[in-house]
Structure 1
Amino acid sequence: MRKFKSLLVAFVLVIFATSTLLAGCAKKTEEPAKQEETKKIKVGLVFDVGGRGDKSFNDAAYAGLERAQKEFGDKIEVKYLEPLAGGENREQLLRLLARDKYDLVFGVGFMFTDAIAKVAKDFPETKFALIDGYVPDLKEDSNITCLLFKEHEGSFLVGAAAALKSKTGKIGFVGGMKIPLIEKFEAGYIAGAKYINPNIQVLSDYIGTTGDAFKDPVKGKELTLKQIKNGADVIYHASGASGVGVIEAAASQKKFVIGVDSDQSLTAPEAQRPYILTSMLKRVDTAVFETIKSMVENNFKGGYKEFGLKENGVGYAENEFNKDLIADIKPRLEEIKTKIINGEIKVPTSKKEIK
């Protein structure tokens, strides 16, 4: 009997020790699993008409998304969507991302304004970033931030560059959709040119009155050739993917052309590069990256954020292809840039203000 009791006690001790050992192992294997479950911030972006590959506005937004993915790859996951050709499903795509519980959703372009205002009300937990659009009465605790740019400041600089390089005293502007936003580009360009030469003539044309005007390179080419025929020897475009036709036409006639939004000489065919004087940089990439960064750092704020020359949100391009082209005018452009930043030059936002 005593022997049986001893065996029973020994058996219980073995069972207890084994249970404790297994529990300890289980605890150790659970801890790494918890570390792996760190929730990533989901970032969605919806392009506007023209989509990725427009070599302009949409591509600039994608560059910001790409930069964020490289820098915060372990903290975020990203997805981008393209609308139908006419852009009529913008709201549907925004809702799709919000329903899929994306934490931050971008709408690339002012055409998203109404859609984002509507969808943001239905998904208060989702943050929305509207590029180039304005939703009134936003506050810091709003779930919408409007990313705005001082396009007129950058356009003033390239307008000055055009006037400094023009030999005919005539320069051109080709806009996409005729709306106040694109007229800001035109106003800054005219003002900058006239700052250099009050007597310069600026020929202006718009491709259309709908969103399709930003994806019509054939019309862009046609208007550029018309302006060149009428004496313009430097052409600036603010027309999205339509600008492909503008650049092609100017280069074919061996006239200078000024790109927009991104540094367009970097993506242009080699034969066109000698004629791309510069590009008016609109740092949509910076705005996208900084907004994602604010989410990663848990510092997102609703309301309005504006990017001008002072914030390095706009400017003019200089690279290996155009460095020599602008070498003689760069000191003057830098002088003008400083005066704008310091407030010595007030850049108009519309043609009415130019006077």
Structure 2
Amino acid sequence: MPKQIIPHHSGFNLGRFVFHRVSLVILFTGILCSSLAMANASHFKPLVLFQGTVQQGSYLQVVDMGIQRFEEKTGIAVARIQVQPDHDIYLDTLEKVAKEGFSPIIVQESNAIPSFPELARRYPSTQFISLDVSYHVPNILGLTFNHAEGSYVIGYLSGLKTSSGKIGFIGGMDIPVINDFNCGFQLGVKDANPTATVESQYINNGAFSWEDVQGAKNIAKDMLDSDIDIIFPVAGYASLGVVDSVKQHGQGYSFGIDYDYSNEYPKTTLASLEKKADVAVYAALMQLKNGIWNGNQKQFGIKHGVIAISINKENPNLTNDDKQVIQQLLLQLKGKSSVISQKIDEACTHSL
């Protein structure tokens, strides 16, 4: 049975997260209010449907941080439902809450549910917020992220620091949003070190992939045993299995994902790709609360501060030259016109 929590205002230790304010004016300009938004402004009954457990160190916790900020700012409670990792249960629960009149509904697992757009069309007066995927459906607001930009920087650093010339990528599932990370990562590796190779593997354990710490750990161990010395995990909470495996192995490096892992793994992480979905979720909720609907997609990247790279300052194997190279890459990606950005746009499908 789904676990329902209504409302929720606290309960997590957010000490290792640093919230960065981003200007909502920059992210949401040129506002045009559609009749759909105006009709729903007075019927604002928000809910988030999580698949899996909202636990410390997970991507779901990052999403929940944005919801908590919205609640604190507005005094409006957001209903929360957690369901077990099962796509059918998730879809059934989504239909149930739509029938019950919740709107907007934050759909955290839309990227793995092909029939979600069809469901949304059956409830045209309900607003849905989709994470990671956008659709040509009038009542779905897609929040997408340029993962490939951040992954390019991670890949470039991997190419600089590998000793064996063998690098690994471990994804949760073989789906477009994860392959967007992989695409940017491989581009960065090749630009820094054309002779290096990248081996890609996926946990692919269905909806449980994102929590399968042991599965991720087993894949990482096999990679390390085959002389791969740097691994980039993009597997949600299961990524902890990769960084733990690297730490236990005693040689090689890994990266943090979604938040900064430097404090927990000071010697074995080189950097972390922070995906500040909390910023995007907060902005979307505020927009819909105010009756604003100005397009079906909002895309966030490095220039918005939502995709960020945190260099591990405690790792003694990162030189000043390494850090300067990364800072230069980030400056280029923040610019209006960048050769790197054009290359990423041509190769990677981050506009999902």
User: Under TM normalisation by the shorter chain, which class is it?
Assistant: 0.7 to 0.9
Q: Which residue among 183, 190, 194 is the counterpart of 1:198? A: 194
Matches of 1:112 and 1:231, distance apart in 2: 33
1:129 is displaced (CA, Å) by 0.5
Matches of 1:222 and 1:350, distance apart in 2: 34
Equivalent in the alignment of 1:51? 53
Equivalent in the alignment of 1:287? 280
Matches of 1:351 and 1:173, distance apart in 2: 18
Between the two proteins, what is the percent identity of the paired residues? Answer: 25
1:100 is displaced (CA, Å) by 3.4
Matches of 2:347 and 2:235, distance apart in 1: 18
Please say if 1:275 is aligned against 2:268. Answer: yes
Q: Decide whether aligned partners of structure 1 residues 236 and 309 sit closer, same or farther in structure 2, where only a CA change above 3 A counts.
A: same
1:194 is displaced (CA, Å) by 1.5
Segments of structure 1 that go 5 or more residues without pairing to the other structure are 1-38
Equivalent in the alignment of 1:329? 322
Matches of 2:219 and 2:347, distance apart in 1: 21
1:122 is displaced (CA, Å) by 3.0
- Structure index of larger Rg: 1
**Alpha carbons 1:251, 1:275 under 8 Å: kept:** yes
Please say if 1:263 is aligned against 2:260. Answer: yes
Worse overlay, 123-132 or 79-88: 79-88
1:276 is displaced (CA, Å) by 2.2
Equivalent in the alignment of 1:184? 180
Q: Decide whether aligned partners of structure 1 residues 99 and 261 sit closer, same or farther in structure 2, where only a CA change above 3 A counts.
A: same
Matching of residues 161-180 of structure 1 within 5 Å = 161-180=157-176
Equivalent in the alignment of 2:123? 123
Q: Which residue among 61, 65, 68 is the counterpart of 2:67? A: 65
**Alpha carbons 1:177, 1:210 under 8 Å: kept:** yes
How many positions carry a matched residue from both structures?
304
- Backbone CA RMSD of aligned residues: 2.7
SS at 1:208 equivalent? coil
Equivalent in the alignment of 1:343? 338
TM-score by length of 2: 0.77
**Alpha carbons 1:214, 1:239 under 8 Å: kept:** yes
Write the deviation string for residues 131-159 of structure 1: whole angstroms up to 9, x where unpaired: 11232x34xxx221111111111100111
Equivalent in the alignment of 1:88? 88
Q: Decide whether aligned partners of structure 1 residues 120 and 304 sit closer, same or farther in structure 2, where only a CA change above 3 A counts.
A: same
Query: As a proportion of its length, which structure holds more helix?
Result: 1
Segments of structure 2 that go 5 or more residues without pairing to the other structure are 1-41
**Alpha carbons 1:172, 1:204 under 8 Å: kept:** yes
1:88 is displaced (CA, Å) by 1.9
Matches of 1:231 and 1:283, distance apart in 2: 33
